[in-house]
Structure formats: structure tokens, C-alpha cells
């Protein structure tokens, strides 16, 4: 007679069995393709309490069991001022999933709620700073965030439609304010629909938007960037009816940008104009022509 599994064991089995192709394989692919984890890394797994960060925590926990590359994990939960219900939900889910979380408190919600201009932007910026700072104090050299494939695609479309620029969300980046720290996105190749399927299959409930502005709703519609993201989600959903591969095409496009065809680009904060690019290319052609004579 087969032994009945604990809830966390059923979740772990679902990742390796039921969702191996849609979740585990893309997760491993991202870790390897973008070289997200190196030997002796100490990674702060940043858990907000939502489905994405909780799944990320389990994936990294599973990887640590089987990886030949030794690395450490700290499961970091920053409390920006959650109400009691959300705080307890995060703690109970962590216990259910056997994720040994480390919680620290901040006053981010109270600070952000007292600003009239773009409080969601301020909140996000403060969150990132506090996470880097706490992670570094714990001896970590990386923080891991739960952004996924769908976030990457939506961000790319939003930047073009609403930001007047072609800008993507990289799988990892160096911190500009915390020397020696990196940010990694291990869920980079995992689709949100598959995360939702995993959540429903395991009958899990996570907090959604914990913002004090919107504790009774799932999205922060008072913030332009968030409402535009919802619009982008709907747009992509409509486009997928005619072209099921539309998101894959957008994702692949940021891996094969043809700079020679661009009339301008920005690199390391420096803007390069069409005239500059064209004149540089002209000089190169002249030198090549002389070399061939």
C-alpha cells in the first residue's frame, strides 16, 4: 500500500511529474541558458506571497536537492505593512509547502501611501532596495525574483506601445546601488498559464495584490502602469486567437535584435543616434575599401 504523501510532497511530485514539461524543464532551461546560478552562490529567494514567488521558491528548493553545483538559499519575505490576513496567509502557505522563510518588516506601505504621485512606482522601488539591503546583510550575493515568460513578453510590448522605446526584461542584471549583488529571474521561460494550472491542480490559494490601496481587488487599477499591463494582457490574448505563437515570437525577438537596422539605440545610459551610427558605418566602409586596394 502506497504511503499517503504530505501536501508539500504532493506539490513537489507535481512539479517533477505532472508539470515537468511545462514548468520544471523551462525552469532548468533558463537556469542553464542564462547561467543564473554559479557554485557557492548564496541566493535570497524573494517571496511576496503570490503564486509566482511561491512556485519559484519550490523550484529552487527542488533544484538544490539535485544540483551538482552547491549553492545556498535564504527564503526572504519582506513585510511592507501587510494586513494581518495577508501576513498569516503567507506564513501558513510557507509552512504548508515546507519553505523556511525569514521575515523582516518595513514601513513601505505607509510611506508610499502618503505620496500622491505614482505610489506604486515608489513602492516597487523601495521594495527592491530593501530586498537588496537585507539580502546583502545576510551574506547573499544574489536575489531571485518571480518574473516569468508572460511578464517578459508584456513588458516588451508595453515599453513599445506606452514607453516609446524597445526595452525588455533581462534574465539577470547587476545591481547599480549594491556592489557585488545580482538579480536573477529563474522563472524566465515559464508561462503564467502553466503557473495557474499548477496552483489549481494543487488546490493552493495565495495572496494577490496586497497593496493597501487595493486590498479588496486583484489589480492596482489606480496605477497607470498596472492598468496598462492588464490592457496588454487582453491584447495579447486577442492576438493569440489568430496567431497562437505570438508570445513566443515576441520572446524570441528580444534574443535576436538586429542593431544594424535600428535608427537609434541606448547602451549603458548613452543614446546613439541614426546619424552617429550611419557615419560610423560609413567610416568603416571607407577603411575596408582602402584595405582591399
Region label for 47, one of left (φ > 0), alpha (ψ between -120 and 50) or beta (otherwise): beta
pLDDT for residue 108:
84
Shared domain for 269 and 135, answered yes or no, is no
pLDDT for residue 209:
61
State how far the Cα of 251 lies from the Cα of 260, in Å rounded to an integer.
20
Shared domain for 292 and 205, answered yes or no, is no
Average pLDDT over residues 273-286: 92
CA atoms within 13 A on the CB side of 158: 19
pLDDT at 115 over 50: yes
Average pLDDT over residues 131-153: 97
Shared domain for 168 and 269, answered yes or no, is no
Q: Are 152 and 188 in contact (CB under 8 A)?
A: yes
* Cα dihedral 102→105→106→112 (10° resolution): 100
Shared domain for 125 and 26, answered yes or no, is yes
User: Where is pLDDT greater, at 290 or 285?
Assistant: 285
Shared domain for 126 and 52, answered yes or no, is yes
pLDDT at 116 over 70: no
User: Where is pLDDT greater, at 172 or 81?
Assistant: 172
pLDDT for residue 208:
79
State how far the Cα of 229 lies from the Cα of 219, in Å rounded to an integer.
10
pLDDT tens readout for residues 45-58: 999 999 999 999 99
Shared domain for 141 and 262, answered yes or no, is no
CB proximity list for 36: less than 8 A, separation 6 or greater = 30, 171, 172, 184, 185, 186
Q: What's the pLDDT band for 212 if we cut at 50, 70, 90?
A: low
Shared domain for 150 and 279, answered yes or no, is no
State how far the Cα of 211 lies from the Cα of 162, in Å rounded to an integer.
24
pLDDT at 2 over 80: no
Average pLDDT over residues 120-130: 82
120 located within any domain: yes
User: Where is pLDDT greater, at 125 or 150?
Assistant: 150
Shared domain for 198 and 276, answered yes or no, is no
Q: What's the pLDDT band for 104 if we cut at 50, 70, 90?
A: very high
278 located within any domain: yes
1 located within any domain: no
109 located within any domain: yes
% of the chain residues with pLDDT over 70: 91
State how far the Cα of 190 lies from the Cα of 158, in Å rounded to an integer.
19
153 located within any domain: yes
User: Where is pLDDT greater, at 54 or 82?
Assistant: 54
Q: What is the mean pLDDT of the chain?
A: 90
Average pLDDT over residues 239-243: 96
Region label for 49, one of left (φ > 0), alpha (ψ between -120 and 50) or beta (otherwise): left
Domain count within the chain: 2
115 located within any domain: yes
Shared domain for 291 and 250, answered yes or no, is no
User: Where is pLDDT greater, at 220 or 274?
Assistant: 274
200 lies in which domain range?
Answer: 7-257
Shared domain for 69 and 83, answered yes or no, is yes
CA atoms within 13 A on the CB side of 108: 24
Average pLDDT over residues 182-198: 98
Q: What is the CATH number of the domain that holds 118?
A: 3.40.50.620
Shared domain for 157 and 253, answered yes or no, is yes
Shared domain for 264 and 227, answered yes or no, is no
106 located within any domain: yes
249 located within any domain: yes
Return the number of other C-beta atoms located less than 10 Å from residue 165's C-beta.
10
Provide the β-strand partners of residue 183: 143, 173
For the full predicted model, state whether its pTM sits above 0.75: yes
Amino acid at each position: 500500500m502506497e504511503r499517503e504523501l504530505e501536501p508539500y510532497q504532493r506539490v513537489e511530485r507535481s512539479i517533477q511529474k505532472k508539470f515537468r514539461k511545462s514548468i520544471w524543464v523551462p525552469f532548468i532551461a533558463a537556469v542553464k541558458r542564462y547561467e543564473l546560478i554559479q557554485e557557492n552562490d548564496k541566493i535570497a529567494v524573494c517571496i511576496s506571497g503570490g503564486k509566482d514567488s511561491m512556485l519559484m521558491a519550490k523550484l529552487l528548493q527542488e533544484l538544490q536537492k539535485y544540483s551538482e553545483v552547491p549553492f545556498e538559499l535564504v527564503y526572504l519575505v519582506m513585510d511592507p505593512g501587510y494586513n494581518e490576513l495577508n501576513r498569516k496567509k503567507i506564513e501558513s502557505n510557507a509552512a504548508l509547502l515546507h519553505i523556511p522563510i525569514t521575515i523582516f518588516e518595513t514601513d513601505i506601505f505607509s510611506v508610499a501611501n502618503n505620496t500622491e504621485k505614482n505610489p506604486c512606482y515608489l513602492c516597487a522601488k523601495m521594495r527592491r532596495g530593501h530586498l537588496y539591503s537585507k539580502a546583502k546583510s545576510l551574506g547573499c550575493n544574489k536575489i531571485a525574483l518571480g518574473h516569468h515568460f508572460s511578464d517578459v513578453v508584456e513588458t516588451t510590448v508595453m515599453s513599445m506601445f506606452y514607453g516609446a522605446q524597445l526595452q525588455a526584461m533581462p534574465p539577470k542584471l547587476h545591481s547599480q546601488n549594491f556592489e557585488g549583488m545580482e538579480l536573477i529571474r529563474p522563472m524566465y521561460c515559464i508561462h503564467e498559464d502553466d503557473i495557474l494550472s499548477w496552483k489549481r491542480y494543487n488546490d493552493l490559494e495565495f495572496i494577490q495584490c496586497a497593496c493597501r490601496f487595493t486590498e479588496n481587488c486583484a489589480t492596482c487599477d489606480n496605477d497607470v502602469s498596472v492598468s496598462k499591463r492588464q490592457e496588454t494582457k487582453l491584447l495579447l490574448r486577442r492576438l493569440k486567437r489568430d496567431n497562437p505563437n505570438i508570445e513566443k515570437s515576441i520572446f524570441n525577438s528580444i534574443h535576436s535584435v538586429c542593431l544594424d537596422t535600428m535608427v537609434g539605440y541606448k547602451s549603458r545610459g548613452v543614446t546613439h543616434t541614426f546619424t552617429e551610427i550611419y557615419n560610423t558605418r560609413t567610416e568603416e566602409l571607407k577603411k575596408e575599401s582602402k584595405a582591399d586596394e
